[in-house]
A and B are shown apart, each in its own frame.
Chain A
Amino acid sequence: MKIKEGFMLRTVAGQTIVVPVGSAAVSFNGMISLNESGAFLWSKLSEENDRDGLVKALLDEYDVKRELACCGVDMFLKKLREAKLLDE
């Protein structure tokens, strides 16, 4: 799975956000904000990846327990699915 085309990630005044551009703006009217790990996972999903790949990437980057990493990844994927941003 990966993130759909047409979404731009930027940091504005210290806050990382995602906005649609081009045709994506027609179906997605809002904006999503991401915390630090969310922004990290977003970058890992700009290419094809899967849930386990994301968990591994998070564990490599951050000093956290596996349970917490899984929880973080699942919550992140849930948020993207709800906003219909994921191409699976």
Chain B
Amino acid sequence: MPNNIKVVKEKYRIAGINTGIISRKDWIIERQARPYIAEFEGVPDIICAVDDKSLTEKSSNFPMLTIQECEYMWTGEQFCRQLLGFDGFMLHSSAVVYKDRAYLFSAPSGTGKSTHTGIWQRVFGEENTYILNDDKPVIRMIDGQVYVFGTPWSGKTDQNRNAGVLLQGICFINRAEKNQINKIDTKTAIYKILNQTIRPDGADKMTLLLDVLDRVLQKSAVYEMGCNMTDDAAITAFKGMNGVL
């Protein structure tokens, strides 16, 4: 670890939660978190920090990541784990906003989530849509409503916005020749969501996750879609998730 690194201790509001992050100046997370800087009284509700020793250790365990990427990913994981205490969870997905509603497209890495939300931007217009978070948006229950939030942790493409938007629906995608979307049953939805979020460590945390999932699923629709890369994919997804198909 170089000696001349300045450590930044800053307050942020992320997904509506008072957050403190201790990070290294000009590294990835410090730069990405700047739009989320906020003032608040008292101690943060969530704290993210990776000390030098842990960082060096993690960096040697993950040689395919740069040391900056290690700090970025581990602060993100810390946020997502503590988030469970605030009626929220992270879903590995790309979240696009159109007409004041957030549409989440989830799948294992490499399937084409970002490609699909990119098609939405092309079809519905860049001026009418934006990417709330391209990799790990946060879903949170606030006053009985389901919101989706952008966070500074947004994967390779850095696309994120500091905003909270009502959830329209969650859609699990897979590649197919023809575009076809349908709702899935609760059991399948739970299984797919559990596979695209951080697995909680311990029974207490699992209970928190299942509790928030219970409330979110009672209010939200979950779909699966086979999609290709044509414009029709975005149109089919939009119609399907708005009950027009």
Residues in A lying within 8 Å of B, measured CB to CB? 8, 10-15, 17, 19, 21-22, 25, 30-31, 33
Residues of B within 8 Å of A19, CB to CB, are 194, 206, 210
Which segment of B103-111, B159-167, B212-220, B232-240 sits at the interface?
A: B212-220
Say yes or no: A11-B214 contact (C-beta < 8 A), given A19-B194, A30-B191, A31-B191.
yes
Judge if B63 is at the interface, Cβ distance under 8 Å. Answer: no
Q: Are A12 and B213 in contact (CB under 8 A)?
A: yes
CB distance from A25 to the nearest CB of B (A): 6
Assuming the contacts A15-B186, A31-B191, asked whether A22 and B202 have C-beta atoms less than 8 A apart, the reply is: yes
Quote the shortest CB–CB distance from B172 to chain A (angstroms). Answer: 15
Residues on the B chain within 8 Å of A31, using CB: 190-191, 194
Query: Are B186 and A13 in touch, CB under 8 angstroms?
Result: yes
Contact flag A13-B213 (CB < 8 Å), given A8-B207, A30-B191, A31-B191: yes
Contact present for B199 and A25 (CB under 8 Å): yes
Q: Total contacts A to B, CB within 8 angstroms?
A: 46
Residues of B within 8 A of A (CB): 186-187, 189-191, 194, 199-203, 206-207, 210, 213-214, 217-218
Whether A14 contacts B206 by the Cβ 8 Å rule is: no
- CB pair B199–A15 under 8 Å, yes or no, is no
Instruction: Give A18 Cβ to nearest chain B Cβ, in Å.
Output: 11
Complex CA distance for A11 and B211, rounded to whole angstroms: 9
| 27 pairs, A vs B, C-beta closer than 8 Å | A8-B203, A8-B206, A8-B207, A10-B207, A11-B214, A12-B186, A12-B190, A12-B210, A12-B214, A12-B217, A13-B213, A13-B217, A13-B218, A14-B186, A15-B186, A15-B187, A15-B190, A17-B190, A17-B210, A19-B210, A21-B200, A21-B202, A21-B206, A25-B199, A31-B190, A33-B187, A33-B190
Interface centre among A13, A22, A31 (most CB of B within 10 A): A13
Q: In the bound complex, how far is the Cα of B195 from the Cα of A25, in angstroms?
A: 12
B217 cross-chain contacts in A, Cβ below 8 A: 12-13
The answer for the CA separation of A17 and B200 in the assembled complex, in Å, is: 16
User: Which residues on the B side are within 8 Å of A8 (C-beta)?
Assistant: 203, 206-207, 210
Please give the distance in Å from B160's CB to the nearest CB on chain A.
28
Q: Is A13 a contact partner of B202 (Cβ separation < 8 A)?
A: no
Cα distance A74–B201 when bound, in Å? 33
Bound together, the chains give a CA A44 to CA B47 distance in angstroms of 42
